[in-house]
């Protein structure tokens, strides 16, 4: 039977989005900086709206990794433009990135971290005001996956 939407509360909309902007400087690590930002601003359902800049390092997990075979990892140790960075930020977060090299060739994948800013990282971060993002283990995938709940306390 086809599932109907909205599924419970989380596709009903109605909640606003708050926007925050952040510029990271040379040498700062993007993922840990975003985690600190979310924690210090007490954001409950945060996501990356946009990001441009450049990195001089990055560690990415490739698409065919599974929970039991996570060894498909690449470590980039040269400068790349950040073409795109997207994902959610709470409870460890889940980010994917597209990076282009000096010839414009693009590589992308699941961000493991170690994304050191080369020149700058200009980030706009959003927060869904009526929601709360956490991550819970999903037996189907073997990973902690996004869990969306209504933010009951409204703070």
Looking at beta carbons only, is 80 or 110 nearer to Zn ion?
110
Contact (CB, 8 A) for 20 and 124 = yes
Closest approach, Cβ 109 to Zn ion, in A, equals 8
47 is a site residue for Zn ion (CB under 5 A): no
Closest approach, Cβ 111 to Zn ion, in A, equals 8
Locate 113 and state its tokens: 């971290």
Looking at beta carbons only, is 69 or 155 nearer to Zn ion?
69
Site for Zn ion in 92-111 (CB under 5 A): 110
Report how many residues bind Zn ion under the rule CB under 5 A. 1
Tell me the residue nearest to Zn ion as measured from the CB: 110
Closest approach, Cβ 5 to Zn ion, in A, equals 23
Locate 79 and state its tokens: 């400068």
Closest approach, Cβ 45 to Zn ion, in A, equals 18
Site for Zn ion in 109-128 (CB under 5 A): 110
What does the DSSP assignment read for 12-71?
S----EEEEEEEE-TT-BHHHHHHHHHHHTT-SSEEEEEEEEEES-EEEE-TT--SS---
Locate 102 and state its tokens: 């000096």
Point out which residues pair with 24 in neighbouring strands: 121
Positions in the binding site for Zn ion (CB under 5 A): 110
């Amino acid at each position: 039977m086809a599932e109907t939407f909205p599924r419970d509360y989380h596709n009903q909309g109605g909640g606003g989005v708050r926007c925050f902007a952040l510029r990271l400087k040379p040498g700062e690590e993007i993922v840990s900086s975003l985690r600190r930002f979310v924690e210090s601003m007490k954001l409950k359902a945060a996501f990356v709206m946009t990001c441009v800049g450049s990195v001089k390092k990055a560690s990415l997990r490739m698409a065919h990794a599974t929970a039991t075979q996570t060894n498909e990892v690449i470590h980039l140790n040269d400068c790349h433009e950040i073409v795109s960075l997207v994902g959610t930020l709470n409870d460890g977060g889940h980010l994917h990135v597209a990076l282009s090299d000096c010839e414009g060739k693009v590589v992308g994948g699941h961000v493991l971290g170690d994304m050191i800013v080369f020149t700058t990282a200009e980030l706009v971060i959003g927060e869904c005001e009526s929601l709360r993002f956490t991550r819970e283990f999903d037996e189907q995938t073997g990973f902690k996956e996004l869990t969306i709940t209504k933010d009951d306390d409204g703070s």
